[in-house]
A and B are shown apart, each in its own frame.
Chain A
Amino acid sequence: MAERKFERKTILDPAVADLLIGMEQRQTEAQMPRKERERISRERAKIQSRRDQRATYDLPPSIRESIRDLAEDLRLPASQLVTLALARFLSDYTNGIIELGKYKQPSRSPRYDWNLVFPESMYPKKRKVKGSD
């Protein structure tokens, strides 16, 4: 039977642990060939530049699936479709084309005064999978 290898774990302050990981990565990179270092640096810059473009929202699964399916059909990035949809919504809202009042219900949450409650009919219908009845 193979001998089990036990490793003693040091408990660290989370910020200290994160900082150490970052510094370890930098030290490892410093010993890589120049081309490799440049490639990693470019990738890091790319990730950092995208960071401000990221957002997390809770969406009904049917909307998420519809966006994904549409993006696949049109062979487009889903993020760009969502950007278009949100930009159109903001424009319509600003111009008074969309009225939120009819969806508003009082909220019990200490953080919000209102919830938006949408009718079922507003959500996209599930698309039929080809070949199924």
Chain B
Amino acid sequence: MIIFAFANQKGGVGKTTTAVTLADGLARLKHRTLLVDLDPQGHLALSFGLEKSPGLYRWVCLGESIDAVKVEIRPNLHLVPGDKQTEKVKRQITLADFRETILADLIHETDYDVVLLDLAPSLDVLHLNGLIASDWVVIPTRPDALAVDGVKEILTTMAEIARSGHRYRGYSILPTFFDRTTRETFLQFQDLAKTFGEHVWPPIPQDTRVRETAAYGKTLWEYAPHSTSIEGYSDGHQRLGGYRQVLGRMLEVINGRA
């Protein structure tokens, strides 16, 4: 099993869309995948056209089994949904013993190939639980100064967690809402590449289809499989960026080639 966390303390950078798209991509490649919503906004369920529900609360606080709380949304793809009751999870975890590893322990009792955690844009005990549970952290970021600052914040938190003994296999920075024609995007992208080198994954182009997808409760693979956000930019015979390429990078991590 490998656990990915999607985290950035800045909101609106595409964490949920990225988690949904990559989870569905992995499931389509026959990986048994679990998505866990750690955000009280509960947007993962909405992204699949489902109602929000307190799956995480029932799993963590009421001690129900994963089989009771998971929702099968697509073949090979299960979801532990969240809603505002997720706030209660934070309170319960705060009062518990060994609170930092509660989520990790629960996840390791399951038998999925890949687990994706969609973290809330905050720095609370549930956020820390998500980071501690993960093997690889994907940090989606808009190419703007505030979101890039969020990247540094996450990396600082990860460094603190690593000092207390947790070992990450790695992390990746995923530029989202990418518009290659603007100077600001170029400068931020150049800065990211210079600072973080190979940790920067190919970016996801800005694409209206992404917003439409959420409204229809479909994933991008279902609604717009040939969109720029999936296929990336065309550059002669090759494609640059897009979720298909990022999925390839993720598979390299899963197969131990990254």
Contact = CB atoms under 8 A, between A and B. Distances in A.
Is B a genuine binding partner of A?
A: yes
Interface stretch (B76-84, B111-119, B238-246): B238-246
A19 interface: yes
Interface residues of B, number: 25
B193 A51 contact: no
Interface of B: 180-181, 183, 185-186, 189-190, 193-194, 197-198, 200-203, 232-233, 235-238, 240-241, 245, 249
B240 A18 contact: yes
A22 interface: yes
19 contacts: A10-B194, A12-B193, A12-B200, A13-B198, A13-B200, A13-B201, A15-B202, A15-B240, A15-B245, A16-B200, A18-B238, A19-B180, A19-B202, A22-B235, A23-B189, A26-B181, A30-B183, A51-B236, A51-B237
Contacts of B240: 15, 18-19, 22
A11 B186 contact: no
Interface residues of A, number: 18
B155 to A, nearest CB: 17
B172 to A, nearest CB: 9
A17 B238 CA distance: 13
A80 interface: no
Contacts of A19: 180, 189, 202-203, 233, 235, 240-241
A11 B198 CA distance: 5
Contact of B197 (A12, A18, A23, A30): A12
A103 B224 CA distance: 47
A10 B200 CA distance: 11
A20 B202 CA distance: 10
Contacts of B249: 13
Interface string A1-45: 000000000111101111110111011001000000000000000
